[in-house]
Amino acid sequence: MRRNVAFCFVLGILLMVSNAVAGDIENGTFSMGASSNAVFYWTDSDRYEDKQLSIEIEAGYFFYKNWEAGVALALQFGDDSYASYETYSLQPYIGYHWPLNAKSNIYGRIGGGYGFGSYDLDDGPPLDTEIITFYAEAGYEYFFSKDISLGLALRGIRSEIEYESDEAFYNDDETRDQLTTRLSFRLYF
């Protein structure tokens, strides 16, 4: 995990010191992308994550110069001290891209979503979950060409998780606060 964070940090620094030239992203532009996250989080219960892989596939539309609205399909797979799990959610977002030069920009994004998942307990019945998520993100994007970019972002997430079970221990809701680094690849057309 520390290696992933160090890699993302070094990559971000290298991209920021580039001195090439991107401009505004015009209205009518579509974007498609994929990303993966390194996750650190705090929770209000005694559950904690041992391993987690998050993948997002997204599509966006620039409705006004540098303003983007879109939706992401987020997939999470992991293991914690009690179970293995997988979750799926749809997350609409809106964001703004500030051009730095002709080959890079910084951006801000807010979003949220609704999802569901399942937990396979090590010593109990499987649990179904419902998840409501809100997030804010700030990142840097480097354009290799007018149509292809690589991004690095920091995202803060708050998730409200409701466990659906007949067992009293798992009927409690859980609030999870996460801080993630996000590496993304995007196409513009």
Residue 174 has what pLDDT?
78
For residues 126 and 1, give the distance between their C-alpha atoms in angstroms, rounded to a whole number. Answer: 28
Q: Are the C-beta atoms of residues 52 and 43 closer than 8 Å to each other?
A: no
Determine the Cα angle at 103 with ends 188 and 30, to 5°.
15
Within 10 angstroms of residue 132's Cβ, the number of other Cβ atoms is 14
- Banded model confidence at residue 179, pLDDT cuts 50, 70, 90: confident
For the chain, domain boundaries? 2-188
Tell which wins on pLDDT, 28 or 170: 28
Partnered with residue 117 across adjacent β-strands are: 87, 129
Within 10 angstroms of residue 6's Cβ, the number of other Cβ atoms is 10
Q: Give per-residue pLDDT as tens, 47-70.
A: 555 567 789 999 999 999 899 999
For residues 84 and 90, give the distance between their C-alpha atoms in angstroms, rounded to a whole number. Answer: 21
Residue 61 has what pLDDT?
96
Q: Are the C-beta atoms of residues 58 and 70 closer than 8 Å to each other?
A: yes
Residue 27 carries which DSSP code?
T
Return the H-helix or E-strand segment holding 38. strand 30-43
User: Distances in Å between the alpha carbon of 168 and those of 60, 79, 137, 165, 175?
Assistant: 42, 22, 36, 8, 17
Distance of CA 3 to the CA centre of its chain: 19
3-class SS string, 122-172: CCCCCEEEEEEEEEEEEEEEEECCCCEEEEEEEEEEEEEEEEECCCHHHHC
pTM of the model: 0.76
Mean per-residue pLDDT over the chain, rounded: 81
Task: Please determine, for residue 4, whether its predicted confidence score (pLDDT) is greater than 70.
Answer: no
**CATH class in words for 2-188:** mainly beta
- Banded model confidence at residue 18, pLDDT cuts 50, 70, 90: very low
CA nearest 72: which of 49, 88, 85, 84? 88
